[in-house]
Amino acid sequence: MIHTFKTAAISAVLALGLAGTAMAQDLKFFTIGTGGTAFTYYPVGGVIANAISKPPGSRECGEGGSCGVDGLIASAVSSRGSVDNVNAIISGLRNSGFAQSDVAYWAYTGTGTMEGKEPATDLRTIAALFEEHIHLVALADSGINSVADLKGKRVSLDEPGSGTYVDATLILEANGLSVDDVTAEQLKGNAAAEGLRNGKIDAFFAVAGYPTGAIVELASAADIKLVPISGAGADALTEKYGFFASSDIPAGTYEGVDAVTTVAVGAQWFTSAKEDEELIYNITKALWNDESRKLLDVGHAKGATITPDTALNGVGVPLHPGAEKFYKEAGLLE
């Protein structure tokens, strides 16, 4: 009897071990490089990671379960931003990541701000996501009313490796300034907002979909303004670089802050040409199913603007074959 019990116990342990091994073999992990936790990329990345994931044992789609990719566990990873994400994709450090359309195109072609660097020819697009506005934030009583007024001021351009840093530099240049004309700081997200509030800096740039968390919190604690990026400097920028477009941030987006005209770029989702075609096809399909629509609509203020109708807007880097297959099947691409 004791022998029988031991045999049964051993058999059960072996069965559990084999089941666990099988489950581990079925699991696939997929990372999404995002940005700083206080800006838009990170929370949106979390929503998308949730939408495309379907761990073993999940309830079926339509029965209260996940409608993601069978066996997939996706995770949003905080990063330094667009440039960092592109480099991480190409190096194989991350499976995918978000980046500004301008940064990605320049990296793919080895032009613009990436001139002289080896082109990131393995970069591929999954989808265009949403519009990102360039915020130039100052205190309401700062006397900073234009980009030109930044001369001699302490300005955070965000960290090198971020798309914000790239764009802030271009905006300064389009307005006849350079990084040497300001006291440049490299603060990110909440650190930049806190630095402005405490008088350590006079202004900061942030490229993010509005409303962005760090600025929402700052506006509730201090009187701030959004400085316009418009006029001849903005015109020169949009004319030279087709990725930039003039666009407004509406009044009331941030507490007590008036509407402002600025420039915007597209936020897009990229991966490597080396990623499996069937996997990217299933991920793209999961992103655009009806259940994901519900998650996007409630998960973040920018979620409602992430739609299949705009999934190919402004795409300058080739689609991954898996994504291309989906868009053709969906009738979104000929």
* pLDDT 10s digits, 58-111: 888 877 778 899 999 999 999 999 999 999 999 999 999 999 998 999 999 998
Q: At what angle do helices 321-329 and 277-287 cross, to 10 degrees?
A: 50
Q: Which residue has the tokens 């697009």?
A: 125
pLDDT recorded at residue 57? 86
pLDDT recorded at residue 302? 87
Q: Tens digit of pLDDT for each residue in 11-37?
A: 444 444 434 444 454 799 999 999 988
**Band of the pLDDT at 319, cuts 50, 70, 90?**
very high
Amino acid present at 29: F
Query: What b-and-e string marks burial along 75-91, b requiring 16 or more CB atoms within 10 Å of the CB?
Result: bbbbbbbbbbbbbbbbe
Q: What is the mean pLDDT of residues 182-200?
A: 94
Domains of the chain: 2-130+268-329 (3.40.190.10), 132-266 (3.40.190.10)
Give the whole-angstrom CA distance, residue 187 versus residue 330: 42
pLDDT recorded at residue 242? 76
**Band of the pLDDT at 5, cuts 50, 70, 90?**
very low
Does residue 320 sit in helix, strand or coil?
A: coil
Specify the pairing of strand 154-156 against strand 203-208. Answer: parallel
**Percent of the chain residues past pLDDT 90, beyond the cut:** 71
**Which is higher by pLDDT, 288 or 334?**
288
**Band of the pLDDT at 1, cuts 50, 70, 90?**
very low
> 319: which DSSP letter?
B
Which residues 6+ apart lie within 8 Å of 225 measured at CB? 137, 138, 139, 140, 142, 144, 257, 258, 260
Q: What is the mean pLDDT of residues 141-169?
A: 94
Partnered with residue 30 across adjacent β-strands are 74
Q: What is the mean pLDDT of residues 134-145?
A: 97
**171: pLDDT strictly greater than 60:** yes
pLDDT recorded at residue 59? 85
pLDDT recorded at residue 157? 96
pLDDT recorded at residue 266? 92
Poorest-pLDDT segment among 158-162, 227-231, 303-307? 158-162
Specify the pairing of strand 154-156 against strand 183-185. Answer: parallel
Which residues 6+ apart lie within 8 Å of 313 measured at CB? 128, 266
Query: What b-and-e string marks burial along 225-263, b requiring 16 or more CB atoms within 10 Å of the CB?
Result: bbbbbbeebbeebbeebebbeebebeeebbbebeebebb
pLDDT recorded at residue 316? 87
pTM: 0.80
Q: Tens digit of pLDDT for each residue in 260-316?
A: 999 999 999 999 999 999 999 999 999 999 888 989 999 888 889 999 999 998 888
Per-residue H/E/C for 250-309 = CCCCCCCCCCEEEEEEEEEEEEECCCCHHHHHHHHHHHCCHHHHHHHHHHCCCHHHCCHH
